[in-house]
Amino acid sequence: MSDILTITLNPALDRSTSTEHVVPEEKLRCETPVTEAGGGGINVARAIGNMGGAARAFVAISGFQGQRYLERLRTEPLVPEVFHTHGETRQSFAVTDRTSGEQFRFVTPGPTWTEEENKDVISALHRCSPQKGWVVLSGSQPPGVPVDFPSRLAGQMKDRAAKLVLDTSGEPMKAVLRAGAARQHVLRLDGTESEELAGRKFANVKEVADFAQELIARNVAEVVVFAMGGEGSILVEGENRWWSKTRPVTPVSKVGAGDSFVGAFTWSLANGSNWEEALRYGVAAAASAVTTEGTELCDRDQVQDLVADAVLERI
C-alpha cells in the first residue's frame, strides 16, 4: 500500500448537543455536549482508518483549543503530523432541535495566518509528503492563506512524485480553474459547485461528464470526479467516463459522506486499484456514511457489502 498524507489547514474543535426547542431570547437547556476533532482532512484520514488503512494527518493547530484538539486526535486511527500556528484553533457548535429534527450549525473562523506561516507550511509539507504516495487536501482554508494554495501544493507534489487529491470549494476552487494554475492530479467537486463553475445547469450525467472532460482539456486536472448525492458519482480520466451508484440506502445524516468517499477512494487507489474500482469504493463509502447518525463515517463491512453490487457504467 502506498503512503497517504491528508492535510487539514483549518481544523475545528466540533461540539454538538441538543435541546427540546431552539427559540430566541430564552435560556435553552441542552444535553451534555459531545466534543470531536473535526476538519475535512482529519475525517478523510478517519475514513481511511475505518477501511483498515493508516494515513498520516497533517494538521495546523494553535493555542489551548489546539491542545484539546490534539488530545482527542491521539485516540484516532491515524498518525498526526502537527504544524503549530499562532492564535487559537477554531470551534464549531451544532445544536439539534429535538422537536423538529433541525440542526443549527455555528462555525467560527480560524486564526488569520501570517506570510511567514504560509512559507513555513510549504516547507513543512515538503518534508512530510510521501515520495510517490498520495496526498489529500480537504476542507476550508484559514483566513490569510492564499487562494491559490492548492495550485502551489500541486506544483510541489510533482517534485515528490506524489499524487494530489483536491477536495475544496469556494475561492480556492475557483483559483484552480484560472489560466496558469498548476494542474491537479484528482479534482473532486459536488453538483452545486460544478454547475456554479460551469455557469449552467446540467440536464443529465452526459452533460456532467462533458464538463469534466472540458476541465481536463483545459489542463485543470488529470482526473475529475463529480459527486451527485444519491445519484452516485462520475469520474472522467482522459477519454474514459464512468458513472457509479450503489443500491438504495436509507439516509439518516449526510454529514461525512463526502469525506468518506474521498477516504475510501484514496485508500483503494493506494492499494493498487484502477480508477473504476476506486470510484465504486468511493460511492459505497458515501452511501455507508449517510446511513449513520451525526458525524459517524463509513463502516468497512457495509462498504464491502455495497461495493459487491454497485453499478458501474461507461458514459
What residues act catalytically?
A: 259
**Neighbouring C-beta atoms of residue 195, cutoff 10 Å:** 17
Distance from the Cα of residue 110 to its chain's centroid: 18
Give yes or no for a contact between 163 and 130, defined as CB atoms under 8 angstroms apart: no
Side-chain half-sphere CA neighbours of 28 within 13 A: 16
d(CA 166, CA 173): 9
Residue 110 φ then ψ, to 5°: -80, 175
| Cα–Cα nearest to 169, from 280, 83, 258, 295 | 258
d(CA 227, CA 194): 9
d(CA 285, CA 231): 14
Q: Sign of the C-alpha dihedral, residues 60, 66, 67, 72?
A: negative
Q: Locate cell 422537536: which residue?
A: 99
Nearest 5 degrees, angle CA 223-CA 120-CA 132?
Answer: 35
| Cα–Cα nearest to 300, from 312, 288, 282, 287 | 288
The secondary element (H helix, E strand) that includes residue 195 is helix 191-198
